[in-house]
Structure 1
């Protein structure tokens, strides 16, 4: 049971009491897990006395596990019961004792007051890209290119050939070069040459990852020249991709392209709507909230670098040397502000639309999320922690509010408005056309990325 103690502005304090019966149930669950997992010499699995098991895991281990299990369940439940959207919280738990109620106090900060501009008459302009015959034909051509074969050619190298070279020098190796995707300096050096020739490739200065590479020359010997042979776009080509006929391949590809286009249009409308909310809302955002988000994002960046074997101090020094650290920190601050505004706007939207998410729906989604990640619900809860569980709940509520609002603007019932977001945890089944198209680089997206790069 949750009891609100005080609420002044964005500051809030509440107390939670967990009945002794639930405390005992948590003790039973922890002891059952230890009895199953802890092996004690001289005792069969599950038969070792509790005192002996406690000696193996350490004094106080059981109480800590029980306390954490209770907090993971009852802290998020209490926040939802009191209808509190917490930005940050400090949990002060009392001692947990078998057979007694367990209590804990929470002091936290809620989101600041936000006022959204009227969006009920908003006309969203974003639309799904049109899948024309030209788009379909380019996709088929790309599939044709990616399924091409190569045959040896007794002639000079031409554009589109596959050239096998042996790099000269002590650390040299043998590798193929595809002229149609090779960099300009490589392509220009090889065109017109023949098998057996030794070619000097002048590599300009460039940056790869965190390293600056000076201009240098690479000497390679041409071992083999192969020409690309495309399959005819016919029924045999379709059958090589497990389709009955070329017509069936075209039909399935068009369906898949239209599905992706519709998804792209949905995403564009979502972003257009959220941008409208954030740009027109009124909110006094505390600097502490922005600072906290910047810190969280910085932690994520440092963790990502750590997984790649890069220390943040080294990366920071590199950016400092390149004169990019100030720009990096400015971008971090801008992105943090954008994320905070987005969360605030969607939180207010959920409140305005009186969005509800039942405990059963939330638990179902958590169970499916755990299953999709090969975990038990208890393991997932432990990994997320009380704050993580509450954040995940909040994200589901925001997503439901966004779907509901978009459904109202389009005059349609928002998908998932009643059934919840449990389907998000389900792995989508791929059609054969999708599998075939996934083998290429998603032509439309590649062209968009290329256009963005040119700009």
Structure 2
């Protein structure tokens, strides 16, 4: 077997492999002899069919099967010989497959990039810290209480916190616009679910009142034909309802899965959940921030095959997230919607793998168990969850991978310039802005 490799781009390789004709013919003849033992052809007894008849009838199919197997075996033999690590499967093109001649084919594929990690010591990372206060817990209890409020129709002017039932229709330049009309719409004033000024314009109105509101859509509104445009909404109030909050008692607490008899016990349990939420949120944001910085200081080429695979995964996640179900083909979603995010993910994965290899990191067993224990605390039977992960190799390996990634982040933080800023609970649990959006904002500021 002869092998030659050509570098066609930074990551793409074209490997030409030539296999001696004798190897192909030997394999084909061996396969045909096996076929001859059981072949049934009219005019011949089983096992007595002349070889030239067997070859004439089955030779083409046998050769195709042999060539397929030869390509599979010789491709990986050649990779080992040339010490190449392919990223994704190859594209195969036969150059010569004439019978009696050496078989030659070209395999085109991408390889993993060679990575030299950049110095991380100059990177500045702002680490957020937060504590859950009594005021935060009280606000959360109020929110939970309002979730089970009963709405009673009242004969008064609408106030902030009331729910109004209304009809409305929007007009732009005197013409009704699509999506701007609704009848019998329930709206809680102060919920900020409508464009700025809409809810404020309803405060003070009573059932039967009508009003026109002249408002402007936000500049960044998702519908381009309305973004930044001035419109007029004609509204009519059908009814006004005020909330009647339920009592803070054991019956209400049970609706949130909390077994508590007193308000103090309920607050204590809610506080634990909020602290757990803050811890996970801040950890996640810090991890994202560090890994994004890692990509910024390490410019690497990423294999297209890996990016394409990640795009497909993101498409599937999008379909599941928005309830597309089995009726929607994920590939119907444009690839360009996910390409940048996919590139970022692939870059992070390659860089993290390089750090793990270069620093010879292994998942800390103690941290693995601590992570499982933390996850288990959100379930009714924590020990069952712990036992499940420890008895399931696949699930345990996923936790180990998470811990290993956390250890990579820790090693990067140990090198970086880290400062700390204290933020409130609401800010702490707010998701971090996507990296792509952050880059856009930076470019605008330049």
What is the TM-score normalised by the length of structure 2? Answer: 0.50
What is the TM-score normalised by the length of structure 1? Answer: 0.49
